[in-house]
Amino acid sequence: MARTNIKTTILAVTAAILTCSCGKWLDVQPYDEIAEDDLMSTEAGFRQLLNGIYIELNDDMLYGGALSVEMIEIMGGAYEMGSDGAVWGNYSDIASYRYGTEYWRTRLNETWNKAYELILDCNLLLAGIDDRKDIFSGEGYYIVKGEALALRAMLHFDMLRLFGPVYSRNPHAAAIPYYTEYDGTPHAVLPASEAAALVIADLNEARVLLSVDPVRTEGTRMEGPSEGNTDTFLCYRNLRLNYFAVCGLLARAYLWTGDKAEALKYAEEVIKAGNEGVFPFVDRSLVTGSPDDPDRIFSSEVIFALTDSQRETIFDSYFDPSRLPNYVFTMEGGLFSDRIFGGVDTGGSRYDYRYLVNWRTTGGKSYFYKYSDMVNTGDIRNTMVPLIRLGEMYLIAAECQSDDISGGLSYVNTLRSNRGVAMLTELTRDLLQYEYIRELYGEGQLFFMYKRMFTRVLFSADGENPQASDAIFTVPLPQSETEN
């Protein structure tokens, strides 16, 4: 990580004011003229540093595009690529896993640098917080430190999943550096197993700190502050890396390393919270009963989401059919109609809530509407970009039941019953993968699923889908890193 590419994002943020109904819980003021020590002299300053990191996660190079709906989803076979180079440009290269082109070397470098830039910001906060513990009131110290550790772990983990080896095949291969200090000194690239251990260590520490998270006793508090208390910092808990979001990340991380027992433990902790009403399955009336304004993201089930008052630009940039003849991302027709939402043998159904509210078919093409504006644009759900959801925890629990997956049938059927579709009579790896696609489409997880399972990526129902290989799944480290 070149020092010249690292800066403190938070001190460069000029303004980020949310306009959604949740008010200004992520307000960040201009701090480019304020010394770091002055900023971290108050609890409010620490909160604003933390909020600035959350805001920057919406950057196009991270979860505002590349790691949610664009680059990573193309790599995961989510979209059909056209053949007209004038329309599709460089996308055909990444769809064919040609990572070495000048364009994609630059793009991958930007994603890497942005992630490590925010990791450095987490370390700035963490470097100053313990000596200033006495400036915090209530449980503020534990919440701020826990969330910062979880953010640091999440960013490292996604760089590990993207740039590291196929863990199940070579956990000792070189992967990524792991930064735990606030300095600009390049660190050595660690083996994947060591980097993963550090991810898990950070998450476990964050989980302990966040044991005081009000999400455990009061739920997500999406209604906002209570009467007489205008402090929004401990509200909207599923818009932050709350206690259960950390459990969800631990489930992901342990599954990545092959520790299914631990992955199952943390997935089930989140599932239990869902059953107790913290993250309830979406009410059918909010999906199919509101055809003009459905809850397309199943917001009650979202364990962690970013909030972006300009979320509509995701739909406008990538999915809006009015963009034609410019590129518009759609699923390959046969895969869509014969496999994902059709075909009895794959568990597909046109009665699936995920189909009914998120897809519109016209002119022989099906268009993805998950991120289109709601009629009520001021609704907080209209700002949410899901990063961890309840349905994934059910699928992780299913995957962790046994080596042949069949023991996880009840978990998948519980999820399907809350999606309006019939029960499966058996569970195979292929059927589980189809369920992952239906549940997590457009959320940046499909490539990582295929890489973890080391199985071919499904681009098409009838065409050639590339065989699993290290060349496909191991993205070369950016030039800025290898030069160090």
- List pLDDT tens digits, range 75-110: 999 999 988 989 999 999 999 999 999 999 999 999
pLDDT at position 374: 87
Task: Look at the pTM and tell me if it is higher than 0.85.
Answer: yes
The CATH architecture assigned to 3-300+446-482 reads Alpha Horseshoe (1.25)
* Contacts for 437-441: CB closer than 8 Å, 24+ residues apart: 437/78, 437/340, 438/340, 438/341, 438/348, 438/352, 438/354, 438/355, 439/354, 439/389, 439/391, 439/392, 439/395, 439/415, 440/389, 440/391, 440/392, 441/73, 441/78, 441/331, 441/354, 441/358, 441/368, 441/370
Average pLDDT of the chain is 89
Is 436 a residue whose pLDDT tops 80?
A: yes
The 8-class DSSP code of residue 336 comes to I
CA distance 34 to 220: 33
> Could you tell me the residue ranges of all domains in the chain?
3-300+446-482
Cα–Cα distances (Å) from 145 to 27, 151, 352, 430, in that order, read 19, 10, 40, 40
Is 40 a residue whose pLDDT tops 90?
A: no
- List pLDDT tens digits, range 166-188: 999 999 999 999 999 998 788 99
Q: Which tokens belong to 108?
A: 């991958």
pLDDT at position 159: 98
CA distance 195 to 197: 5
CA 72 to chain centre: 11
pLDDT, mean of residues 45-70: 96
Contacts of 262 (CB under 8 A, 6+ apart): 250, 254
Is 2 a residue whose pLDDT tops 90?
A: no
pLDDT, mean of residues 329-335: 95
